[in-house]
Structure 1
Amino acid sequence: MSRRKVANPLALAVLAELLVEAMHPYEIGRRLQEHGNDRTLKYTRGSLYMVVEQLERAGFVVEQETVRDTQRPERTVYALTEAGRVELYDWLRELVARPRNEYPQFGVALSLISVLPPAEAAALLGERLARLDEQIGEIRETVRKATDDGVMWIFLVEDEYELAVLEAEHRFVTGLAASLREPGYVQAWEQVMGSRS
């Protein structure tokens, strides 16, 4: 994988918005929200402005003009450069085509779950299942509303992906919680952990 000059995923979204037309960072943020990207990208107004500055330093965007509105403060409009267009397509193609190893915190917790007493671990996984059920329900409702409003399926693929991941996690957690309750595991855990106390 190539090393990016600006590696923040928010930068990729900014480049994609500027592909459509030049705009100021405030408008970029509004469009990201409008397109639902704020569900997959975590950012603040400050971090958005910082990313735009980083993209400018990298030569991917350039100041096009400064606009002054009597009711609003002065705003700088940014445009995508040819280098920015190349970066957008190269980076996006890489992310779509090549799986990356990601290190979610739940994976860390699973690697250490044997430290917890089986009944407690199973109960905590039950709490996780309840939260997963809530998230799954929320995403299904979001997709349903968007579909009813005529949003094309291609603009909902990140929601469909997240739904598939959450449903897979739900199945996995359900099976793991059941395994932790099995007498054989409980007995083995007591033998191993009992010898450490």
Structure 2
Amino acid sequence: MTSDNHAERQAGVIILSQLKMFNEAAVVFETLIQPAFWKGFDLCIARFAKKNEWECQLNFSLNDYCWLAPKHWKVGAKKWKCWFETHTHQGDGVNYNLAAITGVGVKDAQFGFCFEIQASHFGGSKKLDAHINNLDPKYRTTLVNCLDFDDLSGGRFFLPVNVDLDQVIQCWQEFGKFPEDHEVFASVRDALEKLQEAVYTFDAMFLSSPEESNT
């Protein structure tokens, strides 16, 4: 792999000229800071899920992914009609997740929660698209204008989450970890509350379909 981009080459020169320091910083970041942050993130979601009787799958630090959903979206032992999952919009795979969630990632990466729906419960993608096209526009207006979701099309809605980097720095400096009840996760808690509020709209959009009554 080569780079014809001047800025990338200059960045490479800086890294290579300070490789020892860069390596030490990367080791601390990848083995201590990131795992500690995502542990706090997991615990924040776990607390919310327990309080509201939702189900979730966590361990973001290991999987780069987690999901959660209210129990009434479950349609089988391990099957869900819809759910919320962590998602990086733009720049996925080229950023550290901590950089994305603090708004300093490359390629305008945004971290957040994405509403996902299983098309098979509508009889396939074509039927799901037809269902979406027939929905009252008021639902999309509520999600986008009132609850700050982005419409990614196909029934997918993305709620960005941005954590204040200065608070991340201060929290690490003070505690050497990221307690789930710390102010650093205030925006995550706010986003979780919005997910809960959005459930009523998603229920009206997708749990009242003819196919649903037959599942």
TM range, normalised to the smaller chain? under 0.3
TM norm structure 2: 0.25
More helix by share: 1
More strand by share: 2
- Give 1 or 2 for the bigger CA radius of gyration: 1
